Amino acid sequence: MFTIGDHIIYSAHGLCRIDDIQDVTVSGVTKQYYKLHPLENTRVTISTPVDNEKVVMLKLLQKEEALEIIETFKQPGGEWTNHPNSRLKKYSEVINTGERMEIARVVNTLMRKKFETQLEKKTLYERDYKLLNNTQIILFKELARALGTSFEEINKQINDMIKEDEPLPVV
């Protein structure tokens, strides 16, 4: 269980702070609820049961874990699934597990595919782009927080790692 003041990763909202834990009665049933807000939008308040198993709530990465994750971007991404619906389902399931190493593998795969399509003067499927963008922002902001740097610096570092590994286009 988290405590008031903890910073966490909460589902698609990303970095959040737990402001309160309180008992709330809904339809005659009293449960404990976390009251939290995204760090980048203090006007939004989220309320979720403490025992909610459908939502991913994670402790923030430590520095050592963040460094390990960044190193994975030196490796090729995961296997590309050609069928867009299957790919979205597969990648979304991985992301929903909250396993950062696996999430990084999905982000790595999508980033590499994005660079590949750009070299071919094409574009990534819109669903792939949205999944990459949302997941990349949350992961990179968490990495930046763990390493005491900025999202922009992490984004540049990882993009440079991937670009270095990409073959030059044949002219």
Say if residue 170's pLDDT is above 50.
no
For the segment 20-44, the average pLDDT, to the nearest whole number, is 92
Token couple for 74:
């030196």
Cα–Cα–Cα angle for 166, 84, 112, nearest 5°? 10
**Residue 99 corresponds to which amino acid?**
E
**Residue 157 corresponds to which amino acid?**
Q
Cβ pair 90, 81 in contact under 8 A = yes
Stated pTM of the model: 0.86
CATH architecture of the region 7-58: Beta Barrel (2.40)
Cβ pair 50, 57 in contact under 8 A = no
Q: Say what the pLDDT of residue 131 is.
A: 95
Q: Say what the pLDDT of residue 166 is.
A: 60
Residue 93 burial (CB count, 10 A): 11
Say if residue 171's pLDDT is above 80.
no
Q: Say what the pLDDT of residue 56 is.
A: 81
Give the pLDDT confidence of 102-160 residue by residue, as tens digits: 999 999 999 999 999 999 999 999 999 999 999 999 999 999 999 999 999 999 999 99
Give the residue from 33, 46, 27 showing the smallest Cα distance to 2: 33
Q: Say what the pLDDT of residue 46 is.
A: 92
Say if residue 96's pLDDT is above 90.
no
Give the pLDDT confidence of 54-79 residue by residue, as tens digits: 888 899 999 999 999 999 999 998 98
- 61-165 has which CATH code? 1.20.58.1290
Cβ pair 85, 139 in contact under 8 A = no
Q: Where are the domains of the chain?
A: 7-58, 61-165
Give the residue from 47, 160, 58, 39 showing the smallest Cα distance to 102: 58
Q: Say what the pLDDT of residue 52 is.
A: 86
